[in-house]
Amino acid sequence: MYRTEKVFPYNSSENKTVQVERMFDDIASDYDVLNHTLSMGIDKSWRKKGILSLEDIRPNFILDIATGTGDLAIEAYRRLQPAHIHGIDISSKMIAVAQSKVAQSGLSDKISFEKQDCTALTIADNTYDAAMVAFGIRNFEYLDKGLQEIHRVLKPGGKLMILELSSPEKFPMKQLYSIYSKIIVSGVGRFVSKNTVAYNYLPKSISLFPQGEEMVKILKKNGFDNVYNTTYTLGICSMYLSVK
């Protein structure tokens, strides 16, 4: 078991998936404002870079795991023009926000959403040309199972792109980010959403999630090849690319 799998939003008396679902249902209406505020809008550039990393394979069918409010799916469609993007998430309220945004963008026939647990996908083998996970993989209850399921539903040669928040390792960014994540993130989160749980859980889940070479080894262990890792904004965000 990885350390991040032992971090629970509420308590350890019920499974992590149930708690994460409840947490995101609770903050769904405030999520976009908080997300862009806390990242100062830099998250948009991270998403763009992640999407463009899939451009070389020209994917027709894309799976967006932990799609949240659909920002990555919408931007991916605009930049890559695939035949279809299928977004999945465990939070029905996050999906409702995503569906509203897609409808307003006139893309409801190009992007669909469904409530699914990424560790037990009801999707056929070898279905997608590409898969994406942006800032949600640290919430997987079972990281290995989730990666194995993603590997299963990708076509041979299919590409997985992961974006995840990470902890900078060099001075002074390491120290500054520690202060930011422990004080500012939880403070702003409580002020805007009134949800103390979500924004206390966030820094813990980031600090304990495998990153860098450790995450590269985990991807390889779960069947992925040609694994590549890079970081953005002095180590605050990590991107992992790999191939089935």
Q: Give the per-residue pLDDT at 193.
A: 64
Distance CA 62, CA 47 (A): 15
Whether 110 and 84 have beta carbons less than 8 Å apart is answered as yes
Bridge partner list, 132? 64, 161
Q: Give the per-residue pLDDT at 198.
A: 76
Tell which residue, 191, 198, 241, 202, has the closest CA to residue 219.
Answer: 241
Q: What is the CB-side half-sphere exposure of residue 118 using CA atoms within 13 A?
A: 34
Note the pLDDT tens digit of each residue in 54-89.
999 999 999 999 999 999 999 999 999 999 999 999
Tell which residue, 101, 134, 98, 138, has the closest CA to residue 115.
Answer: 98
Note the pLDDT tens digit of each residue in 84-119.
999 999 999 999 999 999 999 999 999 999 999 999
Neighbours of 82 (CB within 10 A): 19
What sign has the CA pseudo-torsion 119, 125, 127, 128? positive
Whether 82 and 109 have beta carbons less than 8 Å apart is answered as no
Q: Give the per-residue pLDDT at 74.
A: 98
Q: Name the pLDDT band for 12 (thresholds 50, 70, 90).
A: confident
- Tell me the helices (H) and strands (E) count for the chain, helix number first: 10, 7
Distance CA 84, CA 67 (A): 14
Helix boundaries (H) for the chain: 16-27, 31-38, 42-52, 71-80, 92-104, 143-153, 173-179, 186-193, 196-208, 213-221
